[in-house]
Chains A and B, each alone.
Chain A
Amino acid sequence: MLLKTAWRNLWRQRRRSLVTSTALALAISMCMAIIAFQDGFTREMQRVMVDQRLGHIQLHHTDYPGRRSMHDAMDNVTARLDGLKGQPDIETLTVRLNGQMLIGGPETSEGGELVGVMPQLEQDFSNIQEMVTQGRYLSAQPAHEVVLGVDLARKIEVGIGEEIVVVTQAADGSMGNDLFTVVGLISTGSERMDKLGGHMHLADMQSLLVLEDHAHEITLVAREGIELEQMVEPLRASPVSKDAVVRTWFEVEPQTSKMLDMQETANRLILVIVLGVASIVILNTMMMVVFERTREIGVLKALGMRPRRIVTLILLEAASLTTIAALIGVAVGGLFDWYLVTQGVRLMEGELSFGGVRFSGHFFGAFHIEKVFHTVGFAYVISLVAALWPALRAARLDPVVAMRHE
């Protein structure tokens, strides 16, 4: 009964109710749009900074983390990979052997950090072939080929099809040196990679460094929905990780993990602010409602309406406003979300290089239905909180004084 009264009270001031609802509806729809954008951004960041770079789980020789000495390489890599390939939880995996070497073009040489990889695995893992700007990626078989970062190639003045000399200290103390053909140039957006880096076939790197059947890193990406901590335990027990440490990506690079968490927190802060501002509208409206109906409330109280019911009445009015707002807001927000998810937003032409990784300038949103419920739920909470003070004030009015008001 109270609800019907509350509802009808809204329409006594039709315009004001609509304006208030609209303001809140706008806030809700904006929140939905912002959430879709943020979630899309977060998903992209996760993909680029974690999935395609760090992977989910990494294996290294026990002494490798920290000093990253060339000599601390895992042995029997072929056997380890065989042990891993069977596992159903693994989406992609890649193997890497890192080498610091002098890279010589026709006239000049530069220090570089090249990585020996298995080309097919690497492509599946990180889509590196999409970053090849000239030429092509490595062949599947070792053929003394190399792809170089664009800036590195430019500094030593080599182009596709030309030869470079690679010189390094091998693991047995001898001087590793060989000729390689540049088959492709890559541009990753990571300064380090573009200026110093490149890939060659794992087998070529192994013989250059005299580290046959060794690797520095094995990196795995787990299938969607797999709990990483649970995946790590059996790996630690398996012979695949003999003399090696198995770590999740957030153990390897806690700062990226913290950064993504901070991002989440910042995102939520924005939403709180948006809805918080909207709640001021509710506050204002309910204050006015109580003020204008002071005499009426006085009469109600004189007639015996208990204070608690008055509070409930006011709160129900606020809740009703919110309901209208929610219906409109979700409808409009849904349109925004649909647009963001399907069409996306072109923030800039081309790509954005940030924090050593590259994002496409064209963002797509991500939609999660539970977030709509959260948003609407939160809208209810803040509008009820905003209405609480006016409601309590109404409940405490002295009937006699109130009836004499105005």
Chain B
Amino acid sequence: MRMFLQIVFLSVLNATAHAAPTMAQILDATDDVTRGASSHATIQMQVKTARYERTMKLETWSEGKDKSLVRILAPAKDAGIATLMLDENIYNYLPKVDRTMKVPGAMMSGRWMGSHFTNDDLIKSSRLAEEFDGTITTKPGDGTGDVYTVELIPKPDTAVVWGKVVVVTTADLMPQHIQYFDEEGILVRTMRFSDVQELGGRRVPATMSLEPANKPGEFTRIVYDQLEFDVAIDERTFSLQSLKR
């Protein structure tokens, strides 16, 4: 959640940036944008794996970089399940058993609700400027296509799991895709952005698709139905007690 919302913010802010942004501007903009922002959205999440295919309808809220809440609206079997992310912890509320459970450390690399996002993905908020060193390797107009390509290598002391991250955006700084490589330089997954629309008063890519590199044909696709930014959210939304609503 954090990750794709963060990318949305990146694109949103950069849509209003001036010509010829520097890399520092891009990264700083991203970092600044996740600070203090809040959002509320409804999303369709489609998960396709070799074993099953399903679509969920979700409602999400987030504030800053430490608080998010996701509630499943459909399908009926999972409706009412809520996942709360507070700082580094994830809690799942399960209405069928009326219990809230904290996800233990050992299961943080597990998949969230069967999707290709892991629990870790939901929590981690990489601060691009602080945790990566980057180089802009292509620019619009240099003959390689109309895109900015930024290659990011994690700085030595950070806890980033990737060996390399490559961000590709259009000339007007709308993200196209992001590739994540492991420490041996092998592509692990790709996040694709498409379907740029006006949502919540800004231009955002309404469809994002996470594709694992080693499983062709599998993906987790998020489509924003509704999206609002900088909304006032009741503090109590991000509490364990209100999970049980």
| Chain A interface residues (CB < 8 Å from chain B) | 71, 102, 104, 108-111, 165, 167, 169, 171-175, 177-179
B side interface size, CB within 8 A? 25
A384 to chain B, nearest CB (A): 65
B215 to chain A, nearest CB (A): 13
Asked whether A104 and B114 contact (CB < 8 A) given A171-B52, A173-B49, the answer is: no
CA–CA, A111 and B107, complex, Å = 7
CA–CA, A366 and B97, complex, Å = 53
B104 touches A109 (CB 8 A): yes
**What 10 A-B pairs have minimum CB-CB distances, sorted nearest first?**
A173-B114, A173-B52, A177-B94, A104-B101, A165-B99, A173-B54, A71-B51, A179-B97, A165-B97, A172-B52
Apart from the given pairs A109-B103, A175-B78, 16 other A-B contacts in the complex at a CB distance below 8 Å: A108-B102, A108-B104, A109-B101, A109-B102, A165-B101, A169-B111, A172-B52, A173-B52, A173-B53, A173-B114, A174-B54, A174-B78, A175-B114, A177-B97, A179-B97, A179-B99
B129 to chain A, nearest CB (A): 36
B111 touches A102 (CB 8 A): no
How many residue pairs at the A-B interface have CB separations less than 8 Å?
57
CA–CA, A214 and B27, complex, Å = 51
B106 touches A111 (CB 8 A): yes
Q: Does B113 lie at the interface of the complex (its beta carbon under 8 Å from any beta carbon of A)?
A: yes
Q: Does B77 lie at the interface of the complex (its beta carbon under 8 Å from any beta carbon of A)?
A: yes
Q: Mark B67-90, 1 if CB is under 8 A from A, else 0.
A: 000000001011001000000000
Q: Does B47 lie at the interface of the complex (its beta carbon under 8 Å from any beta carbon of A)?
A: yes
CA–CA, A109 and B94, complex, Å = 14
B114 touches A169 (CB 8 A): yes
B94 touches A175 (CB 8 A): yes
Which of these, B49, B52, B77, B92, contacts A167 with CB under 8 Å?
Answer: B92
CB neighbours (8 Å) of A102 from chain B are 101, 103-104, 107
CA–CA, A174 and B76, complex, Å = 10
CB neighbours (8 Å) of A111 from chain B are 104, 106-107
B79 to chain A, nearest CB (A): 11
Identity of the chain B residue whose Cβ is nearest the Cβ of A109 in the assembled complex = B101
What are some 11 contacts across the A-B interface (CB < 8 A)?
A102-B104, A108-B102, A110-B104, A111-B107, A165-B94, A167-B101, A169-B113, A173-B47, A173-B51, A175-B94, A179-B99
CB neighbours (8 Å) of A177 from chain B are 94, 96-97
CA–CA, A104 and B104, complex, Å = 10
